[in-house]
Amino acid sequence: MIRTVLRLVPDSERATVPRYLAAVVVHALAQSVAYVLLVPLLEALFRGDLASAWGWTAGVAAAAVVVAVAGYQQAVTGIRIGVGMVHSLQTRIGDHIATLPLGWFDSTTAGRVSRLVSTSVKDAMGVFAHLLTPMVAGVLVPAGVAVGLLFIDPHVSLAMVVSAPLLYLVNRWGRRLYGRAEDRVHTASEESNARVIEFAQAQPVLRAFDAATTGNRGLQEALESQRREGRRLVWASVPGLVVFSSLVQATFVGLVYLVISQTSGGSLSAPAAIALIAVSSRFIDPLNQAAELATAARGAANAAERIRALLETPPLDEPTAPVRPQDSSVRFEAVSFAYADGATVVDDVTFEVPAGTTTALVGPSGSGKTTLLRLASRFYDVDAGRIEVGGHPVDAYPSTTLMEQFALVFQDVYLFHQSIAENVRIGRADATEGEVLSAAAVARVDEIVERLPDGWDTNVGEGGTSLSGGERQRVSIARALLKDAPIVLLDEATSALDPQNEAAVVRGVHELTRDKTVIVVAHRLSTIRHADQILFLDQGRIVERGAHDELLAAGGRYADFWGERSRAAGWHLVGSATTADGSGK
């Protein structure tokens, strides 16, 4: 535990760690000295040897002063290190997350990171703030007492030394049981956190379908799993605590029996026996306290390990000799890719998108269309093959340079809990106010602003919940227009929009893609018709390619797809007039 937590201490506080540890050790050893000195002190008092008693009293007082000074020093330094860890770890986690591949983020990421930042970081800092001192005392105080008594009563000292390994093994066994259960609790908590966030964000959908109580099965199952694992954690901690506490009490009874036996045999005086029994209790108390804190220490160790695992998650590899793009072309060469679950979604795909042309990706759901867009922008690294942008492999670019080449407009639009103007400005932070307003006007975001109470300063809520899906898409288009990147990756989402929003989004897309290299996952027939190249995908492979007219003439999968879409586009409801006799016509 200590090594893992020490690796999380920020550089600014590392110099204080040796001083802190020294204070903790001195604090514990001074306590053991004070306890051992009680034996000769009580013996001198019972003999009436006041001169010796005063001498031993001075020794106990000196040890007590050292305990107080070292205790104060370790408390202040420990809190300082802990507070420094909180600030540093939260910053390091945020900075490191920004370097991870975009594919690392999934539906559970928010819950996992939230728990790390809010709970695990505090658990880890608690090691220095209030856990390490009693844990060290639980080891060093009994050890110091046992060694000190070696010069007073070797029999009692030997009994303490013999019992220590057994106590350690039982305590370790209990911690192991607790640790496995605590890991399961953490996993269940991450899932429930993610489901709570999802439940809050999905309220408009749930209420629209009157499913606010019946549509949260995932949340209910996650909370039930967390409650179940919490009960298991309690039961996992009980055996270790019970066995260890029983063994500690048995050890104390054994020490008392040993002392009384020696007193009965005449080898130990009554005053010495009383003193040894008192000191034996001080041998036992730190062990009990350490056992009570063992579960908290194990939880802190697990928290530190989870933080370490996140911080050691490999970031996106950055090139040592970065390049600049030669043009805005995109090329896939024998690319294959599978997600972490092993399911292959892109299988030996090769195609080229010349600069300034549009390529449409068409095919059934799950055929790998959106994955190709994400691979082009390096959300993930490919398993096989090669992707080039601007004449160079994508991994030859620094991530910032690569992302400068792309304007991404995906189906899932996320808006920050900020104003509309600030959400548009995310497209280019250094844009002038005029440029922001111009991009917003092209995407017809200004029409949205006109009806809002605070205009451009209106806060859109977390995720943009105060706007409709079409309005959020307009803001997304405005962002992309403001960025003005040479390559546009477009996963169209107009099929579910109302006519007004669809018209606004289509107009914005036309402006966004003018004179740009475009790869579009096509949902609209007009997009498919005018593309320079159409790729029809099925099960991760390109099964047909060509221009619109060529593919229709071939009469293959694309022609069937086009026919189905055309029939769907022409479908409409026909109302029936009702005659006076109640029949329809």
Judged by DSSP in three states, 340 sits in coil
Residue 168 sits in the same domain as residue 303: yes
Question: Which CATH number fits the domain that encloses residue 503?
Answer: 3.40.50.300
Q: Is the pTM higher than 0.75? A: no
Is the backbone of residue 455 left (phi > 0), alpha (psi -120 to 50) or beta?
Answer: left
Written as tens digits, the pLDDT of the chain (585 aa) is: 677 788 888 888 888 999 999 999 999 899 888 888 887 888 888 778 888 889 989 998 999 999 999 999 999 998 889 888 888 888 888 888 888 877 777 656 666 777 778 788 888 888 888 888 888 887 787 778 777 777 777 777 777 667 767 766 666 666 666 556 666 665 666 666 666 656 665 655 555 555 555 556 666 766 676 677 666 665 555 565 566 666 766 776 776 667 677 777 666 666 667 767 777 766 666 766 666 676 677 778 778 888 888 888 888 788 888 889 999 999 999 999 998 777 789 999 999 999 999 999 998 888 889 899 999 989 888 999 999 999 999 989 988 899 899 988 887 777 888 888 888 888 888 888 888 888 888 888 888 888 888 888 888 877 777 787 778 888 888 888 888 899 989 886 565 566 666 677 777 778 878 889 999 887 666 667 788 999 999 999 999 999 988 999 998 888 888 887 776 655 544 444 444 444 444
Query: Considering the domain boundaries, does residue 272 fall inside one?
Result: yes
Amino acid, res. 528? I
C-alpha–C-alpha distance, residues 248 and 255, integer Å? 11
Of 146, 132, 159, nearest in space to 27 by CA: 132
How far is residue 181 from each of residues 209, 220, 229, 231, 409, measured CA to CA in Å? 38, 21, 7, 10, 43
Residue 252 sits in the same domain as residue 379: no
Query: Considering the domain boundaries, does residue 150 fall inside one?
Result: yes
Residue 301 sits in the same domain as residue 347: no
Residue 515 sits in the same domain as residue 453: yes
Query: Considering the domain boundaries, does residue 319 fall inside one?
Result: no
Residue 302 sits in the same domain as residue 352: no
By the 8 A CB rule, do 89 and 8 touch? Answer: yes
**Pick from 311, 344, 379: which residue ends a domain?**
311
Which residues in 93-123 are b (16+ Cβ under 10 Å) and which e?
A: beeebeeebebbeeebebbbbbbbbebbbbb
Query: Considering the domain boundaries, does residue 577 fall inside one?
Result: no
Residue 282 sits in the same domain as residue 355: no
By the 8 A CB rule, do 422 and 456 touch? Answer: no
Task: End-to-end CA distance of the chain: give it in Å, rounded.
Answer: 81
Into how many domains does the chain fold? 2
- Number of Cβ within a 10 Å radius of residue 61: 12
Residue 298 sits in the same domain as residue 339: no
Q: Give residue 106's domain range.
A: 2-311
Of 384, 461, 379, 381, nearest in space to 415 by CA: 461
Give residue 582's pLDDT.
Answer: 46
Contacts of 150 (CB under 8 A, 6+ apart): 157
